[in-house]
Amino acid sequence: MKEPETGKKEKTGKSGYSITTWRLHLWCRHPEWLRTTQEFYNRIAEFYYNLLLDHTDLWEMRSQQTLRELEIMSIPGRGGRIPSNPLPWQKVPLYFRRAAANEGIASAKSYLSRFAQDEKIGRAEKLNAAVTYYKGMYQEFSAKEITLRVWTGATWTWMHCRLSGRDFPENARLMSPSVVFEYKYDMLHVPVRQNNENTATVRQRMQAGCRILCIQFTNSDAFAAGVVLDGTGQEIAVKFWKGGKEYSHHCRKLLEKIQKSQEATGGRQTGRVDQKYWMHLKHLSEHYGHQVTSQILRFAVEQDVSVIVLPRYNQEYSRNVMKGSGNWGPLHLSTRIRQYLDYKAWKNGIIVIEVHATGISANCARCGAEIIRTDTRTELCCCANGHQTNRYLNAVRNLGKKCLTQFGRGA
């Protein structure tokens, strides 16, 4: 049998997929109708939420079967069947009602799961879910426009809406969109399903001698340091992703504005205190998280990487390090980068794994000797044999060697 070529991505006969949510700005002539529709949607969801919780015999059923039983109980059927718990509203569109019913079922099952752990938890008095539009409730859908069926408070009507944002990827399947109210913006969230032909497991890829990208997060100007290794442990490329100082500067300026606002009012603010600043911080974190993640993936694709390796720390150590680095430091952003990497990498046929980071900073990656000196100002470390290198590169190289050894590919 022919041995697989080193660095070649292993493929299986199976195909997978990834689902990513596209966020588009939505503009329409009557935004108040969107809110009226959501209020009506949640009233129907609350009806099915309480109906399910009142019937214990339905709790163990699957969601589809539960929906069927709840419809029998609430909707008149053929042959003159009279429902035992009729829906209080007449002529509700079928797919609108089913979307709301599924929302109520999901909320009820979530409540039952939490109630099993803590019996003190009470039922929700009101639901506040975004309206999911099933097929039949929208038409003329593209990245630039959509026509939604909305409730005006008196009647159902079709309303044309303009959309702005990224174009949808080619050969992607658009799933049921939702209208979400974000601060002062109306948004359309669209789950987009894309196929992924490479679904080989981590072990299959490693045994095929694939390239790996090992990453170490830092709390300096570089958000992260990365090293690409082939299946034999040979170093192919090195990369730093910078911008940490810039991110910290923007965050610090916003935190200063929040502090000045609190000092000016003597802490007597009511309602949504300094919300615009806190939202700006949130959006800043999301922006840099997406930006760094995209840069990492662009580099991984260029280097034909098949597996990304991240360090894993125990929970107590991570908590102490994050606390020391500050809530708005570059290292704290690593949590968001990890989250984004996981699903974005899969879209590109790349798997993200974690390897325990114990001991990766204790020894020299070149000779294995103990690290005896580290200069936090220059970020240089030196081993007992006199080898000197960047401490983050040393750690990430050791992480890569550890990963390859675990899969039997070490040099």
Span 211-228, pLDDT tens digits: 999 999 999 999 999 999
Q: Please check whether residue 111 lies inside any domain of the structure.
A: yes
Residues 173, 216: one domain?
A: no
Average pLDDT for 257-266:
82
**The pLDDT value given to residue 186:** 95
State the Cα–Cα distance between residues 409 and 64, nearest whole angstrom: 46
Same domain as 296, residue 154? no
* Residue 121 and residue 56 share a domain: yes
Residue 10, domain member (yes or no): no
Runs of H (alpha helix) within 237-274: 244-265
Do 245 and 195 have their domain in common? no
Question: How sure is the predictor about 328, in pLDDT bands with cuts at 50, 70 and 90?
Answer: confident
Ramachandran region, residue 390 (left: φ > 0; alpha: ψ -120 to 50; beta: rest): beta
> 30 lies in a domain?
yes
How large is the angle between the packed helices 334-347 and 275-302, nearest 10 degrees?
50
Q: What pLDDT does 13 receive? A: 45
Is 100 found in the same domain as 148?
yes
| CA–CA distance, 42 with 162 (Å, rounded to integer) | 25
Range of the domain at 229: 202-254+283-406
Q: Do 140 and 213 have their domain in common?
A: no
Are residues 26 and 156 located together in one domain of the fold? yes
Does 271 fall in a domain? no
Same domain as 236, residue 177:
no
Closest Cα partner for 150 from 87, 96, 94? 96
Beta bridge partners of 373: 382
Does one domain contain both 40 and 138?
Answer: yes
Whichever domain contains 240, its CATH number is 3.30.420
Residue 411 lies in a domain: no
Q: Which of 137, 132, 139, 103 minimizes the C-alpha distance to 190?
A: 132
Torsion over CA: 241, 244, 245, 249 (sign) = positive
Instruction: Tell me: do 43 and 168 sit in the same domain.
Output: yes
Q: What is the DSSP string of 22-91?
A: EEEEEEES-HHHHHHHHHHHHHHHHHHHHHHHT-GGGTTS-HHHHHHHHHHHHS-BGGGBPPSS--SSSS
Q: Are 182 and 298 contained in the same domain?
A: no
In this structure, is residue 55 part of a structural domain?
Answer: yes
pLDDT value at 360 more than 50: yes
How does residue 271 score in pLDDT terms, banded at 50, 70 and 90? Answer: low
Q: Look at residues 166, 199, 232 and tell me which one is the last residue of a structural domain.
A: 199
pLDDT range class, residue 72, cuts 50, 70, 90: very high
pLDDT at 19: 87
What is the mean pLDDT of the segment spanning 60-89? Answer: 91
Asked whether residue 266 is assigned to any structural domain, the reply reads no
**Are the beta carbons of 219 and 330 closer than 8 angstroms?**
yes
Does residue 12 lie in a domain region? no
User: Of the candidates 199, 227, 242, which is a domain's last residue?
Assistant: 199
What is the rounded CA–CA span in Å between residue 404 and residue 209? Answer: 10
Across 53-74, average pLDDT: 93
Half-sphere exposure of 189 (CA within 13 A, CB side): 13
Residue type, 17: Y
Final residue in a domain of this structure, among 152, 170, 199: 199
Residues 180 and 81 in one domain: yes
Backbone angles phi, psi at 55, to 5 degrees: -120, 95
State the amino acid at position 400 in one-letter form.
G
Cβ atoms 305, 211 nearer than 8 A: yes
Q: What is the pTM for the complete model shown?
A: 0.72
Question: How many domains does one find in the chain?
Answer: 2
pLDDT digits (tens, 9 = 90+) for 139-190: 999 999 999 999 999 999 999 999 999 999 888 899 999 999 987 899 999 9
